[in-house]
Amino acid sequence: MQPGYPPQQPPINNNMTMSIVAIFLFWPLAIPAILNASKVNPLLQQGDYAGAQAAATESRKWSKWALIVGIAWYVIVLVCCALGGIGAIMSGDTSTY
């Protein structure tokens, strides 16, 4: 290490990819994830490593919640549709209106 140069910090993953994927599953929670992910690189350029790390952590948290809620919602809808279809088949109602 040369004197006069600040130590190099390891790169921080801004989690933008996971945030964009999360917006397709549950957008209300993905919006804060994208906003925090977009703050990471400017904070790194300003030299605020702790702020960039905090923004990346928040982005990861909101993305994970959006993924969990979105996947759970799709599973619930799929199960309800399947049970409704099975219920209709089992009832044997063949009347038409």
Residues 6+ apart with CB under 8 A from 12: 40, 44, 49, 52, 53, 56
pLDDT of residue 79: 95
- Which pLDDT value is given to residue 42? 94
Through-space distance between the first and last CA atoms of the chain, rounded to whole angstroms: 83
Let me know: does 15 contact 30? Beta carbons within 8 Å: no
Instruction: Give me the residue label for tokens 């790194």.
Output: 44
Nearest-angstrom CA–CA distance, 28 and 24: 10
Low-confidence residues in the chain, pLDDT < 50: none
pTM for the structure as a whole: 0.77
Rounded to whole angstroms, the Cα distance separating 60 from 75 reads 22
